[in-house]
Chains A and B, each alone.
Chain A
Amino acid sequence: MDTLFRLVSLQSDQSLNSSRTSSSSRSSRQNPYQQEDEECFNIFMDDEDFSSSSSKHYNPYPHHQLHHHTASNTPTPTTTTTTGSATPTHHHVYDQSANQFSYSPARDVTLEFAASLSGHDSKWASDILLETAKAIADRNSARVQQLMWMLNELGSLYGDIDQKLASYFLQGLFSRMMDSGDRTYRTLISASEKNCSFDSTRKMVLKFQEVSPWTMFGHVACNGAIIEAFEGANKLHIIDISNTFCTQWPTLLEAIATRSDETPYLRITTVLVSKAGGANGGSSGVQKVMKEIGSRMEKFARLMGVPFKFNVIHHAGDLSELNLAELDIKEDETLAINCVGALHSVTTVGNRRDSLISIFRKLQPRLVTVVEEEADLDIGVDGVEFVRGFQESLRWFRVYFEALDESFPKTSNERLMLERAAGCAIVDLVACPQVDSVERRETAARWSHRLQGGGFRPVSFSEEVSDDVRALLRRYKDGWSMVQGSDSTGIFLNWKDQPVVWASAWKP
């Protein structure tokens, strides 16, 4: 029953892949030492490792001279000892070259982080990563190289939190160095979308809800506020700009179905935003998932006896450029706009975030609900601004990874999917041009400022809604709590005293 969705046909994928790679490997840059076809064979031979890799060099700043290690240029012996001619003299020669090669490039950096690495409760990944960001800001390429080497050696996508952070942030920093952030991001997104299925998505979302209030917190708060705002109205329309796969709506449908007065007519228009130009054919996976979700929603509404219409809009590009006509808002509808993690997908360049808010204002909604993760991830392009934003990203993703780590079992594919998504976000933040970024979160204070500037006033959540949220948090492990925002602007979900998610409601 849940297997309606299937992976993209194996055959087309495979032929695509093999032909792509076969042509690319042929057209690939040849090793300068081996030009003839005949000699190409050599690169499969014994010492190809060193000869080919020594032709590689990485130069973060082309105008800077990169510190080259003797190691990479050391010619490697071309014979092995199995030839039977090994003599003491040979040994001597070999030993010498061995010594040259095993020259340790980073004795000093090793010592620098020795304490951090051996500490019991250490956060070595954050320490090394922050130093790397500083070295990047200082354009100290030799140091960047050594620190990246450490991160590469120590990191692992499947290890502990520090190893994961090291790995995901290294990917970001590395893409930044290679100036390939955009491409890396697209490859990551298209790989994940290609393998995205309704089943895996459903499992991931449900498991996340089961073990952590991260998403449910916003759902419960917003649904409470929306239901209260919709009281008395009988033609309802929710513009749902979110990435939570409609998991918010079943409880709302239930609440509406049990309303004391006449059951109203409900429309939900879900807007899914993806980066412009990205995800060409890849988003077909997401489209299929949403189609399946839509039909399930309709089925559920029928079951509940709620007259219901569901619509999905796939919007590629910045949210502020959304074609409002597509929303098909009717004169007689009571409108609510529900934004979950939507505002931070708008670019920080220009005044797009404020202009989106004024667009919302023009739609004259009865209510706007905003859920955002509480962080200030406006990473600057360079220098001190970059380091500051990078440091905040490190803090934020460590909290996120820790929360995931304590909520999920140790060997969970669902957690892995969430971590991978975070990895994409890190590439976006660290390596992609600011104008294309969809991950630059802001703090509640800044959002409130923007919303108030756009002609909205905050609506506090009623005592009833707050009670619902507290009841929700009791279902999870210790460590979660709810805290009121200042000036009645929303509520925070705290994890171990750190605010992580902010939910708020606004009226024009």
Chain B
Amino acid sequence: MSHNPRYLQATHNFSLISPLLIHNHQIPQVIILNHHASNFRFPTRCANSTRPITCQSLHNFSCHFLLESFLPKVHILLIPFHFSPIMLHSLLPTLQHNPKASSSAMTSAGKRAVDVASPSVAEPSKRHRTHLSPVEKDLQSEEEGEDQLQAVAAGASAREDDDSTGLRLLGLLLQCAECVAMDNLDDAGQLLPEIAELSSPFGSSAQRVGAYFADALSARIISSYLSIYSPFSPLCKTHHQKLLNALQIFNSVTPLIKFSHFTANQAIQQALDGADHVHIIDLDIMQGLQWPGLFHILASKSRKVKSFRITGFGSSADLLKSTGQRLAEFATALNIPFEFQPIEGKIGNIKDLNQLNIKAGETIVVHWMHHCLYDVSGSDLGASRILTMLRPKLITIVEQDLSHGGSFLGRFVEALHYYSALFDALGDGLETESVERHTVEQQLFGCEIRNIVAVGGPKRTGEVKVERWEDELVRGGFRPVSLAGNPAAQANLLLGMFPWQGYTLVEEGGCLKLGWKDLPLLTASAWQPCE
């Protein structure tokens, strides 16, 4: 399987569109999206390619079948193999008529679904949310069991306008990204106004995603012309305050942040069993929202810890100070002997282990929540070196299921996919006009998308990035600790406690993956040194 994601859009004759990809035999799969294209011709060069072309429709029709029966009616988008229909979920409202179709297409071998404590099914229609009109709901039920392709087509004709907007938007975004990848900034810039015009930060999920990707592309184009790629972070309190405010909203409207806190805390408390002196190193502590939960767990145990230290990394001394004070208050209330050690900086830039002020007899746990809001670790290799030298009892990591390196185009397509699901998830239960929704999207997602699309990827530095931290940790002498037991149960409980539907929890190789309609969004893992 290729790790170079490729897409191809085909309306009429796709041999016109990407001779480059065909030349390199980077033939992606085919997914049927719509029924608008006519006069579709399969390019002969593509057909003669040494690599077989796999055509995947929502129904796994064979290529022949496609060509013979549906081609006059289908719109075809060629996208990479891992490009699941989830993305189409939000970009193309039609496909929402067929949750079954997408989930069956999604079921892949090797993943064991954790039995999510099924939340009450009182409102099955909630899943489809407000943007389905009653008529469309009827359509949906009538079509149950019918040929799903037909259902898609029928749905499409009912909402052609929405579809065409989503489809045009997707096509234009990919075109624009291709221009950027080809270093053709001029043409890319010319495509942006139309993308912006079709999208809106207050529209459908697809339009929202489009708005922020267009914004990110525009910023990338300008920075490419300026030849300055580094991020600018105003070191001011108002900026941080805004970010933290958005994170708090995010925490209250989706289970994603809670998921990372819950699972990590469970793994940590298991590792701390029997420890007297605890030292937690949080590589990006922010407001320290995670730790009161752990305080509670420890306070409820019969065997009390003798000392509890948290070392918090952060970029603002002010913020670290107030975080420390808040945590100290919590700890005092629970009679935990607590000490906070702020470090203004990044783990990867630490030259000397002494800076961490490790004391003999301490049980050390490192917690690392990945995100693309800014660079957390500094030098990845420095971070890896410090972790190896530190050999903590446990490392808990929560990662986005999103690659942070690789080629621009690959990163772009993957991020488009990822954020389509994330925007969709956030929109679940929130109105289009919701100010909270806008705040989270603008302050958090928009910022992350910008960093991912920027030259150099999320960290926006030219240095080498660690692509897969699991490999790096294994190389550093760590082995994974399974989260299948208690942490998984906790995560299940969490999802059951709240009204969210559509989130899926999967355990894979000891890691826990929280996804939206089967697309993994966050992966939690824990590591301990090999004996």
Which residues of A approach B to under 8 Å, CB–CB?
6-7, 10-11, 13-15, 17-19, 21-22, 24-26, 28-31, 37-38, 40-41, 43-46, 48-50, 52-58, 68-69, 71-72, 74, 76-77, 79-82, 84, 86, 88, 91, 94-95, 97-98, 100-106, 110, 114, 117-118, 120, 145-146, 148-150, 152-154, 156-159, 170, 174, 178, 183-184, 187-188, 190-192, 194-195, 409-413, 416, 420
Contact A413 B200 (CB under 8 A): yes
| A17-B228 contact, Cβ under 8 Å, with A156-B446, A158-B201, A416-B201 | no
Contact A29 B406 (CB under 8 A): no
A–B complex contacts, Cβ < 8 Å, 13 sampled: A14-B36, A18-B17, A29-B183, A37-B20, A50-B462, A52-B181, A88-B385, A94-B463, A100-B462, A102-B230, A110-B234, A159-B442, A192-B193
Contact A41 B236 (CB under 8 A): no
- Give the size category of B's interface with A: 35 or more
**What distance in Å separates the Cβ of A67 from its nearest Cβ neighbour in chain B?**
10
- Chain B residue numbers with a CB within 8 Å of A117 are 234, 236, 238-239
**What distance in Å separates the Cβ of B379 from its nearest Cβ neighbour in chain A?**
6
- Chain A residue numbers with a CB within 8 Å of B172 are 17
B 188-246 contacts with A by CB, 8 A = 189-191, 193-194, 196-198, 200-203, 211-212, 215, 219, 222-232, 234-239
Which residues of B approach A to under 8 Å, CB–CB?
4, 9, 11-12, 16-20, 23-24, 26, 36-38, 160-161, 164, 167-168, 171-172, 175, 178-179, 181-187, 189-191, 193-194, 196-198, 200-203, 211-212, 215, 219, 222-232, 234-239, 379-382, 384-385, 405-410, 432-435, 437-438, 442, 446, 455-457, 461-468, 471-472, 475
Q: Interface SS of chain A: helix, strand, loop or mixed?
A: helix
- Counting from the closest, the 5 A-B pairs by CB-CB distance are A101-B462, A98-B463, A118-B236, A28-B184, A153-B232
**What distance in Å separates the Cβ of B28 from its nearest Cβ neighbour in chain A?**
13
Complex alpha-carbon distance, A45 and B406, angstroms: 7
Q: A69-B228, A105-B228 are in contact. List 14 more A-B contacts (CB 8 A).
A: A18-B17, A43-B407, A56-B224, A58-B225, A82-B472, A95-B382, A97-B462, A101-B462, A110-B232, A110-B234, A158-B215, A190-B193, A195-B198, A411-B432
Number of A-B contacts (CB under 8 A): 277
- Chain A residue numbers with a CB within 8 Å of B472 are 81-82
Contact A80 B467 (CB under 8 A): yes
Contact A411 B406 (CB under 8 A): no
User: Which one of B222, B379, B466 has the highest number of Cβ atoms from chain A below 10 Å of its Cβ?
Assistant: B222
- Chain A residue numbers with a CB within 8 Å of B18 are 22
Contact A68 B171 (CB under 8 A): no
Contact A411 B202 (CB under 8 A): yes
| A14-B167 contact, Cβ under 8 Å, with A56-B225, A97-B462, A98-B379 | yes
Contact B178 A25 (CB under 8 A): yes
Contact B202 A22 (CB under 8 A): no
- Chain A residue numbers with a CB within 8 Å of B182 are 25, 28, 30-31, 43
Complex alpha-carbon distance, A60 and B395, angstroms: 50
Contact B187 A25 (CB under 8 A): yes
| Minimal Cβ-Cβ distance residue in A for B19 | A26
**What distance in Å separates the Cβ of B353 from its nearest Cβ neighbour in chain A?**
15
Complex alpha-carbon distance, A103 and B228, angstroms: 10
